[in-house]
Amino acid sequence: MEELVKRIQQDGDVLGDGVLKVDSLINHQVDPELMEKMGHLFAEVFANRKITKVVTIESSGIAPAIFCARQLGVPMIFARKSKSLTMNEELLTASVYSFTKQVTSTISISRKFLNESDRVLIIDDFLANGQAAKGLIELCQQAGASVEGIGILIEKSFQDGRQLLEEMGLEVVSLARIASLKEGEVTFLEADA
Ligand code: G4P
């Protein structure tokens, strides 16, 4: 997506350790117009997949996921990273290891929100090693739901998340694909949409 690539070039900061800081548009301050366009683009790309639920993980996946779900006319569910007091029903849970933070966390979704008739579109802000997406896929599998596709805002193509997901037979659509973050420069591959 040309607009996202331009915004990354304009507003993104490369941190020394291969991390892209985009907290003025995605991860802290959020640009609602850009989010709406990105959410709608995912809805368009996956329009023929008969999606019944959009699933993401808190917190930064929520904004694009909600716009996508609204456009598709389906609910959006975000997996929780910590158990809420109100989550007193049966839970679907998965362990997610973060290479960035070197910690394992448990993510969960209430069992009642996903079932075997659901056709899920997974949305997230970043795809790095793919562990968050893998955890979300596991939650869908536990519910018997099918994963119909994965929509990512920014893919770090020099890490192996995309390969992991494609090896699972899943279609990954990334709106910006980053080839490298070396010497303060962002270089891009051609995006999927
Ligand atoms: P993975 O899920 O693809 O394996 O990613 P990893 O463990 O490496 O990353 C964990 C967290 O760091 C995720 O967000 C992920 O989106 C984010 N992340 C990974 N690479 C970058 C990067 O280059 N820039 C930024 N800004 N974030 C990155 P999180 O901790 O769950 O955060 P949030 O969703 O609550 O904002």
Residue minimizing CA distance to atom 21 of ligand 1:
19
Average pLDDT estimate for 160-186? 96
- Tens of pLDDT along 3-17? 999 999 999 999 987
- Mean per-residue pLDDT over the chain, rounded: 96
Lowest mean pLDDT among 33-47, 53-67, 92-106: 92-106
pLDDT of residue 107: 96
Give the Cα separation of 61 and 69 in Å (integer).
12
Binding site for xanthine, residues? 20, 27, 156
pLDDT of residue 89: 84
The 10 Å CB-count burial string (b at 16+, else e) for 139-157 is bbeebebebbbbbbbbbbb
The band of 86, judged by pLDDT with boundaries at 50, 70 and 90, is confident
Quickly tell me which residue has 């389906």 as its tokens: 74
Binding site for 5-phospho-alpha-D-ribose 1-diphosphate, residues? 128-132
Average pLDDT estimate for 96-105? 88
Number of the ligand 1 atom closest to the C-alpha atom of 21:
26
The band of 157, judged by pLDDT with boundaries at 50, 70 and 90, is very high
Confidence check: pLDDT of 83 > 80: no
pLDDT of residue 84: 74
Average pLDDT estimate for 106-127? 97
Number of the ligand 1 atom closest to the C-alpha atom of 97:
7
pLDDT of residue 11: 97
How many domains does one find in the chain? 1
Asked if residue 149 has its Cβ within 6 Å of ligand 1, the reply is no
Asked if residue 126 has its Cβ within 6 Å of ligand 1, the reply is yes
Average pLDDT estimate for 75-102? 89
Confidence check: pLDDT of 87 > 80: no
Query: What pTM, to 2 d.p., does this model score?
Result: 0.96
Range of the domain at 123: 2-82+89-189
Give the Cα separation of 42 and 65 in Å (integer).
9
Question: What spacing in Å lies between the alpha carbon of 56 and ligand 1's midpoint?
Answer: 13
Asked if residue 191 has its Cβ within 6 Å of ligand 1, the reply is no
CA dihedral angle for residue 34, residue 37, residue 43, residue 44, rounded to 10 degrees = -140
Instruction: Report yes or no: 39 and 154 within 8 Å, Cβ to Cβ.
Output: no
- Tens of pLDDT along 44-72? 999 999 999 999 999 999 999 999 999 99
Share of the chain above pLDDT 70, in %: 100
| CATH code of the domain covering residue 135 | 3.40.50.2020
Number of the ligand 1 atom closest to the C-alpha atom of 23:
26
